[in-house]
Amino acid sequence: MLITMSENELHRIGVIKEVCNKQLTQMAAASNLGLTRRHIQRLVNQFRQDGDVGLVSKRRGVPSNRRFLPEFRERVLTLVKQKYADFKPTFACEKLAELHGIKLSSETLRQWLITEGLWRVRKRKQKKIYQPRYRRECYGDLVQIDGSHHDWFEGRSAKCCLLVFIDDATSSLMSLRFCESESSYDYMNITREYIDNYGKPTAFYSDKHSVFKVNSPSRKSSKQMTQYGRILYELNIELICANSSQAKGRVERANRTLQDRLIKEMRLAGINTIEEANAWLPEFMADFNRRFACSAYSSQDAHRLVQNPLLN
């Protein structure tokens, strides 16, 4: 007869055999297995009566006493199929708790969805390993900025761009704004909004978009700045242009998360236009930062007061 045992059960058999052969005391066996002496005596009796089979767990293959009722499982799966069919398990669990009062672990829901064929286990590709850049120590010391072009309204409005400002030290969303294109005018507006709310950061970290860097071959050797760059220079805010998207990985990862969560949140909230979205975004940012932001290494705030008359 084939007996399937776990690693712990195999170890337990070896210890109990030593007790039966008087090579080990029951107290020493109890200390070894982390059990009481009386439990060791019961295991010895089971082993002498039934052999190795006596030490196999009797609960194996028996449904848990804490399992959910089939009716509850069907109710959850029906809700997911009707309202959250394209949500990932963790995000779906959050919405079930917030909107329907259903508390469930994301792993339980994931297993249910896999069983029903609603979720497919994806094998992760081996990613390239890059030298990590450690977070800045202070809040406001470095702010990563980027524009994400996407069909944010799922066809309910035209495709547009989301400007994202994220703090490097805490991964907090600082400013979000929808606009028709990634232009100097829109970056100036969101930068002013940022400074009005928080003050001047030490530096902005961006890509080499033409808003931030003069990319004309004839001017690469000159010290000419873009309009946006000149404004940051006047405000004494350093502008750092990354050489690769991996270098500003925090804002790139935030963009991927937003393209999943933000789109679905706007769908649930019935938001269909840029104007409606921009008015609602502060509420989304507060919830996002509560879930995903972390504490900075230092309690110091690196933001500075505005002293430039251009913004007064």
Higher per-residue pLDDT: 132 or 234: 234
* Residue 102 shares a structural domain with residue 198: no
**Same domain (yes/no): 34, 111:** no
Separation of alpha carbons 259 and 250, rounded Å: 14
Q: Are 186 and 272 contained in the same domain?
A: yes
Percent of the chain with pLDDT over 90: 68
Number of separate helices (H) and strands (E) present in the chain: 10, 5
Verify that 290 and 180 share a domain, yes or no. yes
Cα 209 to Cα 241: distance, rounded to the nearest angstrom: 9
Whether the pLDDT of residue 80 is over 90: the answer is yes
Under 8 Å between Cβ of 147 and 163 = yes
Does a structural domain hold residue 178?
Answer: yes
Range of the domain at 13: 7-55
pLDDT for 312: 45
In a shared domain, residues 188 and 281: yes
Residue 254 within a domain: yes
User: Same domain for 251 and 197?
Assistant: yes
Distance CA 222, CA 53 (A): 82
* 48 CB-side CA count, 13 A: 10
Residue 136 lies in a domain: no
Within a domain: 133: no
How confident is the model at residue 243, as a pLDDT? 85
If asked whether residues 220 and 149 sit together in one domain, one would say: yes
pLDDT digits (tens, 9 = 90+) for 127-175: 676 666 788 999 999 999 999 999 999 999 999 999 999 999 999 999 9
Chain center to CA of 293: 10
Banded model confidence at residue 217, pLDDT cuts 50, 70, 90: low
Average pLDDT, the chain: 89
Is 147 contained in some domain?
A: yes
pLDDT digits (tens, 9 = 90+) for 174-192: 999 999 989 999 999 999 9
Domains: count for the chain: 3
Indicate whether 128 belongs to any domain.
no
- In this structure, is residue 229 part of a structural domain? yes
pLDDT value of residue 131: 64
Taking 60 as the threshold, does the pLDDT of residue 221 lie above it? Answer: no
In a domain, 194, yes or no: yes
Length of the chain: 312
